[in-house]
Amino acid sequence: MNLPWLRHRTAARLDAEQQRRREALPAAPALDERPLASQRFVVVDLETTGLNMRRDVVLSIGAVVIEHGAIDLGQQFECTLNRPIQDMGVSVLIHGIAPSALARGIEPAEALLAFMEFVGDSPLLAFHAEFDRHMLRRALRHTLGYRLRHPFLDVAELAPMLCPDRKPAKGGLDDWAERFALQVDQRHHASADALATAQLALILFSHARRQALDSPAGLAQRLAVWRRRQRGLLL
């Protein structure tokens, strides 16, 4: 049962300390003009019960940090959320999270607070970011009563925009990873996918610099133009 009013009630159940932590979360950043290599980005990947953006829920969060132009392996976020069994869908074989692991997982409010504290005021990167943003936003609203305003850059869009000549037939993370010969340790695990996405992002940032696009704001502007053109091509 995933009725919205139930979620709101969950949010209301935050204890005093959790409420204090929610209030202390930094404000959302803007995509600005500073060089890419001078900024901190959080690359996130979610595993969910399924692909239905209205019904499915977040099962685990994996995130790595790009800071000073490199992936800092010392800053990683990896968390499985404690979900009741009935939330589990058929996608268990895709995300591969065992019910036992979910049972050992962290209480969702704790997990999401910890994640947002990890994100801080950094912009987010994700592959097919719209999905992750939507799922995360919904989870945060329902569980914490928190409104996610952090900007996302979609690596699935950056890749074909910056490297149109290297675009694989299908545009999935696996396809791009293969195209750039990335060695991915274990796919369909939130952390491993976040790391693969981050490596892809580093390659794309390198391409962006060579195309004189060296800031998140610049990338966002170019993306807007690129999206319009893509739409135009489709029409």
User: What SS3 class is residue 3?
Assistant: coil
> Considering beta carbons, is residue 71 or 139 the nearer one to another protein?
71
**Minimum distance between the CB of residue 84 and another protein, rounded to whole angstroms?**
17
**Which of 48, 49, 91, 191 touches another protein (CB under 8 A)?**
191
**Which of 40, 56, 78, 222 touches another protein (CB under 8 A)?**
78
* Distance, CA of 206 to CA of 220 (rounded, Å): 16
**Which of 6, 70, 224, 225 touches another protein (CB under 8 A)?**
70
**Minimum distance between the CB of residue 11 and another protein, rounded to whole angstroms?**
27
**Which of 2, 10, 19, 76 touches another protein (CB under 8 A)?**
76
* Distance, CA of 65 to CA of 139 (rounded, Å): 21
The candidate with the shortest Cα–Cα distance to 87, out of 109, 61, 56, 46, is: 56
> Considering beta carbons, is residue 130 or 178 the nearer one to another protein?
178
**Which of 27, 93, 233, 235 touches another protein (CB under 8 A)?**
93
Is residue 74 at the binding interface for another protein, with CB under 8 A as the rule? yes
> What sign has the CA pseudo-torsion 66, 208, 219, 199?
negative
> What sign has the CA pseudo-torsion 115, 75, 154, 124?
positive
Strand partners, 153: 125
Which residues are within 8 A (CB) of 229 and not within 5 positions of it... i.e. 6 or more apart? none
Which residues are within 8 A (CB) of 127 and not within 5 positions of it... i.e. 6 or more apart? 45, 154, 155, 156, 173, 176, 193, 197, 200
Q: Which residues from 144-183 bind another protein, rule CB under 8 A?
A: 180-183
Chain positions contacting another protein, by CB under 8 A: 62, 64, 69-74, 76, 78, 80, 92-93, 96-101, 104, 180-183, 185-186, 189, 191-192, 194-195, 198-199, 202-203, 205-207, 210
